[in-house]
Chains A and B, each alone.
Chain A
């Protein structure tokens, strides 16, 4: 015969203070656990959303970021003439030769400088990234010292409003618009005309070339031909893969730190659950004896106490996850070590993370409750009944 669920529920309610403190501890651990997972997920989805699967990025061989890379005009011309490059409606190749530089700008609030990506793009730059829309002002015009800024830049850096000017490369650049890149990494960039940038920074090379494939499956053939061409010293990558790799180190750091913290913290919370459950068993020894004398099996006692522990975990998990879900309203920005530039991303709650957090909470409850429940189930009826 089973002991009804209400028995476990009422026991938790009878010791409200203890229950609240224990679930509070569990909830904090789950909060940390879920928050870290959300942060990692947010970082990944930001950078994954940045690249498109049928776009190819060409950078100099063995460069790991666009900033390090350099592709000269002759090489760019060779890449442009490949048959795999898709053509636009006007018959010109869908390809953008880009220049990337980092400048340091003061952050809003504390004024401390951080690195920002300035991307000079070709005419097709916007066409190749359909996720980008101008949300205020207008697009920059080719041949002028005009720039447009990403949404996150507008929010986080000083002096980046429409009509304001930024000075770099011995020129004043007028901000003429703000763009939204749908939560991708481009939101943390400033865009302008590639040829103007090349002149201003006195460079002879582009940093990278982005092109659209006319057939997504043609990538391998293109990569093979470009990388074995003796005139070229370039490497071709799918844009999506490139940006995934950019997030790798930071994502791994966040994940390891989060797992290490969660494991250490869970020890504290498990101990809390264990103390509560031991006390709960000790205080109810006579009750347990009575239940056994009434004919309840050891297994029923065991499952009643385990249920109680799991309930503690479930309540803690629910509170922790609910707390963590409020973090979705915040945005984090930090320098991505691999690209050495500022990147804004948010906390991303997915069903998978909710499931992981709840599983973690239940596991903590279970681990904390299993020993006390076993103790309760092992009691001899006579001894238990005699206890005060």
Chain B
């Protein structure tokens, strides 16, 4: 009986209900997209393995480490693998085409990252070709690259024009793996640098280390940093997760701003929804008084309004949450390699629905209490 009334009431002002629903739909959709943007920022940290450490120069990332550290690091007890990686920072045709490029020690590097799946024969081809490169599936797709294509990069850190031949394309072991990266031989970089800028040769940007026992990560980090203290290149060793989080921390302000704004949109729609419910309740004041006169209790009058508000909010919210998936997929394709992983998480959907319910409840609060306490005589006389 009450349910039927709720539905009927919701459909009385079709236009108003439809508009309100549309508003909630847009707000929940926007909220979902913003949460996904924030998640994308943290994706590097979330996929980081706890069995990998990163050793870098303690001064800052701009300073490299000598290549002699490779052997010293390998001898540290508990370390199972060491791979050097240099940030290349090349430009592909236009500075807008940004994607990360690393010069790595291929065999140990890819052994440390089993989540990058490379077909065996392609990987062999890559090892045999000094100018070879391994690119991620997403990156290859966005520029239409195939195995065998030549990719020219203009160096900004290592000046000059560099040509690479794509020898392998890697896939992620699951959808969360970043497949927008570009890898090539550290040896090739080093040899060229030796000829062009001899003083900058034999340096490595960071070392990625594999550890057998993740529980000992802190202890191993400390022993590494202690070993290089007071040397020309002091080191800072941290877990891969901490290393990735330090990048997020740099743009923390922006992340916080986006988060605040994503809750603002919920507030905006709360005001709109509260307005709708207040208007509806005011117009129906005499009806509520009639219901009361017929013997309905206060709580069922309040329930009518809360139910209607909830129904509108939940329908709008559900539609919004559903629409997040195709819209996020579109958006992800649009921004391309800016966000390597752009996926709507289950967490986001839950938050969206919770927000919709809260909007429905809060919006109905004042009108419900007011209508439930209406004096029968006064209510019957009320005009909208």
Contacts and interface: CB of A to CB of B under 8 A. Distances in A.
A28 B267 contact: yes
Interface in B262-286: 264-265, 267-269, 271-272, 274-276, 278-279, 283
A18 B275 contact: yes
B249 A112 contact: yes
Interface string A58-93: 001111100110000000000000000000000000
A21 B275 CA distance: 6
B274 A335 contact: no
B250 interface: yes
A4 to B, nearest CB: 24
B27 interface: yes
Interface stretch (B12-20, B67-75, B114-122, B170-178): B12-20
Contact of B232 (A115, A202, A272, A274): A202
Interface in B19-33: 19-20, 22-23, 26-27, 29-30
A69 to B, nearest CB: 10
Contact of B384 (A28, A272, A283, A340): A283
B62 A340 contact: yes
A103 B59 contact: yes
B195 interface: no
A264 B327 CA distance: 13
Interface in A332-355: 332-335, 340, 342
Nearest to A17: B278
B261 interface: yes
Contacts of A257: 258
B278 A21 contact: yes
B60 A104 contact: yes
Contacts of B27: 268
B279 A279 contact: yes
B57 to A, nearest CB: 10
A334 B271 CA distance: 32
Interface string A344-378: 00000000000000000000000000000000000
Interface string A14-32: 0001100110110011011
Nearest to B159: A62
A61 B199 contact: no
B299 interface: no
Contacts, number: 139
A114 interface: yes
A115 B279 contact: no
Contact of B155 (A21, A62, A335): A62
A114 B19 contact: no
By secondary structure, the B interface counts as helix
Contacts of B251: 334-335
A282 B145 CA distance: 61
A268 B275 contact: no
Interface residues of A, number: 53
Interface string A108-142: 00001111000000000000000000000000000
A265 B30 contact: yes
B94 interface: no
A266 B156 CA distance: 41
A222 interface: no
A18 B278 contact: yes
Contacts of A381: none
B60 A115 contact: yes
A279 B16 contact: yes
A60 B30 CA distance: 44
A264 B276 contact: no
Interface string A29-51: 10110000000000000000000
A268 B15 contact: no
Contact of A104 (B23, B59, B199): B59
Contacts of A114: 249-250
A264 B30 contact: yes
A15 B63 CA distance: 65
B157 to A, nearest CB: 5
B16 A64 contact: no
Interface in B144-167: 154-157, 159
B368 to A, nearest CB: 14
B223 interface: no
B191 interface: no
B95 interface: yes
26 contacts: A18-B275, A21-B275, A22-B271, A28-B264, A61-B159, A63-B156, A102-B62, A201-B63, A261-B30, A261-B261, A261-B265, A264-B30, A264-B265, A265-B268, A267-B23, A269-B272, A271-B19, A271-B20, A272-B272, A272-B275, A275-B19, A278-B15, A279-B279, A283-B283, A332-B253, A334-B253
Given A201-B63, A283-B384, 19 more contacts: A22-B271, A22-B272, A25-B269, A25-B271, A28-B268, A29-B268, A63-B156, A68-B156, A102-B62, A261-B265, A264-B30, A265-B30, A268-B265, A269-B272, A271-B22, A275-B20, A279-B16, A279-B283, A335-B251
Interface of B: 15-16, 19-20, 22-23, 26-27, 29-30, 59-63, 89, 95, 154-157, 159, 199, 230, 232, 246, 249-254, 258, 261, 264-265, 267-269, 271-272, 274-276, 278-279, 283, 384
